[in-house]
Amino acid sequence: MPVSDYLVTIGLEVHCQIKTETKMFCSCKAGFGYEPNTNVCPTCLGMPGALPVLNKYAIERTVLTGMMLGCSTPPVSKWDRKNYFYADMPKNYQTSQLDLPLCIGGEVPLYAWAYPADCKVKADGPVVRTVKLDHIHLEEDAAKLTHYNGYSLVDYNRGGTPLMEIVSAPDLTSPEETYAYLKSLQQMMICAGISDADMEKGQMRCDVNVSLRPKGQKELGAKIEMKNINSMSAARRALIYEIHRQAEELDMGIAQVQSTRRWDDTLGESIVMRTKENAHDYRYHTCPDLIPVHTAPIVEKVKSEMPELPDALHARLQRDYGLPVADANTLVGDFKLCRYFEEAAEGSKAPRKVANWVINNLTAVLAEKEFTITDCPLAPGALAGLVDIIEDGLVSNNQAREVLEKMWETGMSAAAAADAMGFRKTDTNALDSVVAQVLEENPDMVAIVKGGNMKLINALTGKVMKVSNPKPNPKMVTEIILARLGL
């Protein structure tokens, strides 16, 4: 049977590091980029006798995440030990939550702009549909293993970092929806400041569960899990491969067995790791070192901290700044770029043009110079100043691109950079004289323009620009030509 004859069911377990100063159960620094094994202590290294202390802020951020996603929080939440033996967990168990997590139920919106660029979706508003959640629990992250040929290195800095596991219901139906789910969730985490959710840095990772069953069959097929996928595009590729692999085997009469597989993005295939893994394999039991958390005071506290969510931000960008949907899509998709735009647009004469310059010109320069918006030496107000002198007719768009380079290199204001490059027109009488001279020297072109052929206006403007020093704004030159010709 073709793949289209099977029903695809997908569920995700998204692991998202919470942005905190310290780890979940000790005072060691949490964060990315430190020298290996420098942020460790007896507690996160699992030394005998070392006892955990709860990170209250991480609990609050998890409850806030649940609020954003419409989850409920039980009155009491408790901690459990998930036992397994591996080098990335020195205690030989992970402190996690099983039957009384911090958040239950809820749903994740799939934003229209979060789908892959090559995927066409129809939606009446910003949300295409919502995906049901099972729960969100809080745990500690494992250490980072780096495998080489014949040996492995372990960095325990990451071990103990507060980690939310956001577990969906089996409610996704395609690789494209999965991509949108991850993108939407990432945007929400970043907008709320809960996590940087950078998948390249391991701050957000996911395990993907997928099963196939023939259309008309109610019972779900065997669940196949793919572990630790670290990008949205990799999740999409892994699902495309796995759906086709399962369909081919089912067509051949090969029954699928519940198993865990590893996705090799280089080879473009999944590889069996183990079969029939269930919760009881981890021998969960209540953690004796941590008392249950009474959540009512936490819920009350975080109610006032609800952030502006991406769909509300999307609507506000269009309403307050007059941005088209495409520009709002781009800015919501890059929260730091959006904040830069909003600072630049504040008080600007042309916020829509500011958005255009941020999205197209500034990002092009950033890419060329291998900078991020965080590293950008141009303050938002400086870019707004550049757009303002364009609006005032003091420089053209093409000239402004050169001015932008000058500002980047020197730190000069837009006006100062334009003056230094000789772009700003300061003598209207002198420019008028140059226009008069050019028109007098080109009577044939003038006659054609007066006869109704306006295409030669640009040619006349170019001639004026060529002999002018300093270089004026082409728009102003064209206006003077039209006025002199009575057009």
Instruction: Note the pLDDT of residue 469.
Output: 67
Instruction: Note the pLDDT of residue 23.
Output: 98
Q: Quick one: which of 358, 364, 360, 314 has its CA closest to 187?
A: 314
Is residue 5 over pLDDT 70? yes
Is residue 427 over pLDDT 90? no
Q: pLDDT band for 430, please (50, 70, 90 cuts).
A: low
Tens of pLDDT, residue by residue over 223-253, are 999 987 989 999 999 999 999 999 999 999 9
Peptide bond into 470 cis (omega under 30): yes
What's the chain's average pLDDT? Answer: 90
Residue with tokens 């790791």: 273
* Lowest-confidence region among 195-204, 323-332, 431-440, 469-478: 469-478
Contact residues for 303 (Cβ-Cβ < 8 A; gap 6+): 67
C-alpha dihedral sign at 286, 42, 86, 18: positive
Q: pLDDT band for 85, please (50, 70, 90 cuts).
A: confident
Q: What are phi and psi of 231, to 5 degrees?
A: -160, 155
Which residues face 121 on adjacent strands? Answer: none
pTM of the model: 0.84
Q: Quick one: which of 84, 83, 85, 61 has its CA closest to 73?
A: 61
> How far, in Å, CA of 178 to CA of 226, rounded?
13
Alpha helices in 192-293 (DSSP H): 232-251
Task: Calculate what percentage of the chain has a pLDDT beyond 70.
Answer: 96
Q: pLDDT band for 46, please (50, 70, 90 cuts).
A: very high
Q: pLDDT band for 131, please (50, 70, 90 cuts).
A: very high
Q: Using N-to-C axis directions, what is the helix angle for 443-450 and 457-467, rounded to 10°?
A: 140
* Lateral strand order in the sheet of 80-83: 93-96, 80-83, 285-286
Task: Domain ranges for the chain, please list them.
Answer: 3-302, 308-420, 428-485
For the chain, what percentages of helix, strand and coil (3-state, to nearest 5) are there?
Answer: 45, 20, 35
Instruction: Note the pLDDT of residue 482.
Output: 79
Is residue 272 over pLDDT 60? yes
> How far, in Å, CA of 185 to CA of 197, rounded?
9
Q: Which helix (H) or strand (E) holds 482?
A: helix 474-485
Residues 157 and 131: beta-carbon distance below 8 Å: no
Which residues face 93 on adjacent strands? Answer: 83
Chain-centre distance of CA 24, in angstroms? 25
C-alpha dihedral sign at 363, 365, 368, 374: negative
Is residue 452 over pLDDT 80? no
> How far, in Å, CA of 171 to CA of 109, rounded?
12
Q: Kindly state the average pLDDT of the residues 53-64.
A: 98
Task: Calculate what percentage of the chain has a pLDDT beyond 90.
Answer: 69
Residue with tokens 């939550």: 97
Q: pLDDT band for 280, please (50, 70, 90 cuts).
A: low
Tens of pLDDT, residue by residue over 305-350, are 999 999 999 999 999 999 999 999 999 989 999 999 999 999 788 9
Q: Kindly state the average pLDDT of the residues 104-115.
A: 96
Is residue 70 over pLDDT 60? yes
Tens of pLDDT, residue by residue over 384-415, are 999 998 887 778 788 899 999 999 999 988 98
